[in-house]
Structure 1
């Protein structure tokens, strides 16, 4: 049997490496036992190549990347042990075919060679997301050519599709392929967790572990986005690609272990492919669900948001700046500061705004700032024609900003904040995902203004917004 024959999810805490963790490895003994079992299972399957999927290599907003050099190596120097090094041959033929197949299916895939790495200022080294699980494969004598894939910030549907393409390329080339997704679950399980504590983190891990054990893949796609954000995980995208590689395959397996003694969830799961399923795969369902979801968003858009979206779409299609409607909605007749936010697949795609009115009325303010969010936000490439159907918009109309005496007068769900020191000022809107404390809200606003986090001599202002979706 050829094609994808084995898949697995493995965590990647460097402390799992004995040379690094020392006696602390005992704290995650269940994980070590399970990852050794995973490695033994790979050895028994004896794949021709191994596709690794990491969340810690070169990450792009619009592409999946693959490190591409004849010999690929990495070490743990960032964790104090540069002498612990692993090297592998690149599975060149498979990498070339995978890249071409993905790009033909409109999943942008970038091969990172030495010249590209220098240009983009990224490292041509295997990261710890690859190295930790491969350390244990190396321990049992497995050293196969690899395809080191790094996730992109694409939609989960696109990531699942990429996994399916791995499967199809493996079948066409008649390779036996093992897919290892590297990722940790929530980073917010305890008060001492590296990303801080969130009471919802354990709920996320409990649900995801259950769905992985029962292979309720569709339920994973149904998980609440806010819950995902609160978990602070790094494994959902890699495992989504892994699950795509098992689409319409009959597999046996499940979760071997789960624990989180250091505030981070570590799950190990393995799956053996036994053949193909006859029923329809999840891939078609996912795109139909996405299409339906976007259609519902469009049908429920407020007139304010429709104006913002129309501004962007008309400019992309015809390079024309639209005029406000001849008969203005009363909500658009006044004057105020406005922020327009654009998202794609739940991720920010652009946000530009004005803290005070600069145009004759709200309609003009919205049009101007919508175009700024789409084409002038320096953090992102300008929006292009191919993606306009996937974009969602929100418009925040700012109320009057009022000075406050202390951080205790803030509520990140209710109030936005402006932080000033001299000529520098930073603004943060209220009710943003992941911003659940006034302290965090002020720190982010300080960073945006270029004000040191520890600076106490600041002026605080708060404001309310009317948010339109």
Structure 2
């Protein structure tokens, strides 16, 4: 017997609520109608527990957070709406069992309450990623307890396994439940949206929704990394957990609406488990193993050398010494090199040199790959068992030239700022750095230079090599 009786992807634009939109909500009327449809459907189910995954509550980089006081409160006063308030009881029995299951499975998670979050100067409250979807539920039904989950950047397979744990606990406790993945799609559909336009935005939305409609779980997990990074979305990790809760059967999705008039993609979708058995987890693990093999066998000599050097360091305790067999392009040139390590899309280490400090680019990569993994002061040292989840990029820096602020372009040029013996560098084309002002402020901050004062500016281009 199924215990989770509804699976939904819902957006969370506060503007959809009339008291906030003040007429603008009419531009997303199809979204509103679809959300109301979901609210009525959940009322017909009459769940004991609603499980909701949000991107906008207290988030930790290394663990999924599950809210765990007896009651959780929230309102939309930050959006100028004081008459919509929610005070919802938490299903703490579910939480405790879920926390135990995650511990046994090695899935990083933490139960958080008001006392715990106070240590981080964070409020224990419902966020708009939860309040907006539940606004459409509470219009029709409010006799439920809540499991309130904030996802974390712990890797897509861990998120999927967390969803599996949610399903397992619902069955063990015989909870009649529904699960809502709260998330907006690309925020870069228009120049007048919250972020600058990106052609990847519409592509991301279309591809994700197509994968969900077709029940292509591996496809949803295997979308182009650049497209995902550039889309500026907050739904995908919620979806990974939702899909994990559907593990064991074929699935399909029914798209009720999709709109984006404000430059943000809003999707309302119902998903269903079919009758045919299918282990998507097995497919995802196999896919991950194949991707790692491709990294090890990369044809790109720059990232290949960085990975081989890290493997050599962890297996033998020292960097590669023999370089005579390296491709000539790595030995014939001298440039500064930055090596960046990312884990689950988040920076895990980055060290580099503005100008060459060794006799070749190859030696620069060897030196800086170890430095990035072991000696970046912002992070603990990388462990060997993390290597499979790490993506490597190598930036080869061209010579810098003095310039004026007006000559900068953060997508094309990196920047070096200097003043009174202090220097700060920022690489080009970094996620979240869209303007010259942002680029200069970050570079100045890194060098402890007053961005409002006088400083010298240099620009440079890079050749970036990334693992596919």
Give the TM-score, by structure 1 length.
0.88
Distance 1:223 1:323, change over 3 A: closer
Select 2:288's aligned residue among 287, 290, 295.
290
SS of alignment partner, residue 153 of structure 1: coil
SS of alignment partner, residue 269 of structure 2: strand
C-alpha deviation, 1:32, in angstroms: 1.4
Instruction: Describe the superposition over 1:204-230 as per-residue Cα deviations: whole angstroms up to 9, x where unpaired.
Output: 223333333343333322322222222
SS of alignment partner, residue 187 of structure 1: coil
C-alpha deviation, 1:44, in angstroms: 0.8
Give the corresponding residue for 1:380. Answer: 379
Give the corresponding residue for 1:198. Answer: 198
* 2:399 is aligned with 1:400: yes
SS of alignment partner, residue 104 of structure 1: helix
CA contact (8 A) 1:404 1:462 kept: no
Instruction: Describe the superposition over 1:48-72 as per-residue Cα deviations: whole angstroms up to 9, x where unpaired.
Output: 2111100112223332111211111
CA contact (8 A) 1:402 1:463 kept: no
CA contact (8 A) 1:88 1:143 kept: no
SS of alignment partner, residue 98 of structure 1: helix
Aligned length, in residue pairs: 465
* 2:130 is aligned with 1:96: no
C-alpha deviation, 1:439, in angstroms: 7.2
Give the corresponding residue for 1:65. Answer: 65
Select 2:425's aligned residue among 410, 416, 427.
427
* 2:369 is aligned with 1:370: yes
C-alpha deviation, 1:365, in angstroms: 3.9
Distance 1:392 1:191, change over 3 A: closer
Which segment drifts farther, 136-145 or 254-263? 136-145
CA contact (8 A) 1:324 1:363 kept: no
C-alpha deviation, 1:392, in angstroms: 2.7
C-alpha deviation, 1:380, in angstroms: 3.2
Give the corresponding residue for 1:119. Answer: 119
CA distance in structure 1 between the aligned counterparts of 2:202 and 2:73, rounded to whole angstroms: 35
Give the corresponding residue for 2:389. Answer: 390
Instruction: Describe the superposition over 1:394-436 as per-residue Cα deviations: whole angstroms up to 9, x where unpaired.
Output: 33232322223464475834x4332345555432334555667
Unpaired stretches in structure 2, ≥5 consecutive residues: none
Instruction: Describe the superposition over 1:334-360 as per-residue Cα deviations: whole angstroms up to 9, x where unpaired.
Output: 654221111223432211112123456
CA contact (8 A) 2:102 2:165 kept: yes
CA distance in structure 2 between the aligned counterparts of 1:124 and 1:73, rounded to whole angstroms: 8
CA distance in structure 2 between the aligned counterparts of 1:286 and 1:118, rounded to whole angstroms: 37
C-alpha deviation, 1:251, in angstroms: 5.8
Give the corresponding residue for 2:23. Answer: 23
Which segment drifts farther, 119-128 or 292-301? 119-128
Distance 1:395 1:211, change over 3 A: closer
CA distance in structure 2 between the aligned counterparts of 1:219 and 1:200, rounded to whole angstroms: 17
C-alpha deviation, 1:86, in angstroms: 0.8
Select 2:319's aligned residue among 294, 318, 322.
322
C-alpha deviation, 1:301, in angstroms: 5.6
Give the TM-score, by structure 2 length.
0.88
Which segment drifts farther, 357-366 or 231-240? 357-366
Give the corresponding residue for 1:143. Answer: 143
CA distance in structure 2 between the aligned counterparts of 1:463 and 1:259, rounded to whole angstroms: 38
Which segment drifts farther, 378-387 or 3-12? 378-387
Distance 1:305 1:29, change over 3 A: closer
CA distance in structure 1 between the aligned counterparts of 2:321 and 2:300, rounded to whole angstroms: 15
CA distance in structure 1 between the aligned counterparts of 2:352 and 2:334, rounded to whole angstroms: 13
CA contact (8 A) 2:185 2:267 kept: yes
Distance 1:453 1:197, change over 3 A: farther
Which segment drifts farther, 23-32 or 327-336? 327-336
CA contact (8 A) 2:218 2:283 kept: no
